[in-house]
Amino acid sequence: MSDTRKFKTLMIVAALVVIGALVLRFAGGNSRKAAEPSATLAESTPADSQSQPSRMPLPKPDELAEAEDAGEAGLPRIPREKVEEFLQLRNRSAASLLAGFHALQDTNLLYEAATRFPNDPQVQWTMLAQPLSPEARREWLNRFKDSSPENSLANYLSAAERFNSGQTDMAIKDLLAAGNKPQFKDYAMAAMLDEQELSRFAGLTPLETMHANGWASDMLAELPSMKQVANGIVEARTQYLQAGDATSADALLQAGLGLSDRLTEGEGGRFVISQLVGMAVENIMLRQMDADTRYDSLGGKTPAERQAELKQQKADFRSLNASVTSAYGTMSEADWQSYSDRMKTYGEVEAMKWLQQRVADPTAPGK
């Protein structure tokens, strides 16, 4: 199979994975009922990081999800001996072990990383994407909070777990703590770069290296928690309104809009799917507001006007995706490498805009 045909196949597979996960995980509502808040939002204080556990739960490799055979999806396979050579050259660092895990889907490598580097935030983020018992997940969440005190993502993930278990007051404390932290950092881009480094070391072509995407499953595992937080906010807000506490209800609404901003702007919005999830979270919040009232938090717009903007943004994303599709078989390998480089530097949306311009006018110089 030629590089162009292989690239087209890989792009289609990747798009189907992302779209399928988005539809399955974000369609429909949440039937879970939140426990009634026992305190007003004004009385809640940010949740402190809990002390480190005396025992770190580490699932055995066979207790983690069975990995799919990468070869069945037509993806380039990296020989195990090349992975081992790479690990030795990198002194079996946390990043190299995670890259090997993502490339081979070998949970033994993840288990080694978790055992040797339990306080590494990228290891923690990867572990939280795995199937864990509630007790083990809580301990990994606590470690993530402790290792990344400025990173709001740890608190949002914790809030999702609290909402799901009916611990609404604790979830709100995590939500408040998240809003007071300056960062929203996942490790999807770092994991992508680490896996691509391994792929280059193993001798894969630039096109094949672009599609070293074992890391993507971790990002897809993270994003449903953001909708869980949004649904938890709506349920808790309803309880506050029923209790006559409009101030706390409004504060929760603003916290939900703040989560949307985290997913659509800055580091949290580097990938299109993150932006789509952020837009979904914002739509959930907008539906709680009077459609025709102008709000300062919406820049003076009404929720109806803002929803129209979000609809247009989704249409723009579809247009950008169509440009990527139309580029199959027409773009050179150098162009695809430029696309990949731009995605790393500017984010996926800006890279897609560049590609759209390139398809429209192949003679135009790059930015």
| Chain segment 137-146, per-residue pLDDT in tens | 999 999 999 9
Q: Which domain holds residue 136?
A: 79-235
DSSP H/E element including 128 = none
Q: How many CB atoms lie within 10 A of CB 63?
A: 14
Task: Tell me which of 365 and 360 has the higher pLDDT.
Answer: 360
Q: What is the pLDDT of residue 366?
A: 54
CB 323 within 8 A of CB 335: no
Q: What is the pLDDT of residue 69?
A: 42
147: in domain: yes
Q: For residue 194, which amino acid is it?
A: D
**Overall domain count for the chain:** 1
- DSSP states of 41-73: GGG--PPPPPPPPSS-----GGGSPPPP-GGGG
Q: For residue 266, which amino acid is it?
A: G
Which whole number is the average pLDDT over 257-281? 94
Which two tokens mark 175? 């939500």
| pLDDT tens digits along 33-68 | 444 454 555 444 333 333 333 334 454 444 444 333
The residue assigned the tokens 């087209």 is: 8
344: in domain: no
134: in domain: yes
Q: How far apart are CA 296 and CA 318, in angstroms?
A: 30
50: in domain: no
313: in domain: no
Which whole number is the average pLDDT over 113-123? 97
State the pTM of this model. 0.81
259: in domain: no
CATH number at residue 185: 1.25.40
Q: By three-state DSSP, how is residue 151 classified?
A: strand
178: in domain: yes
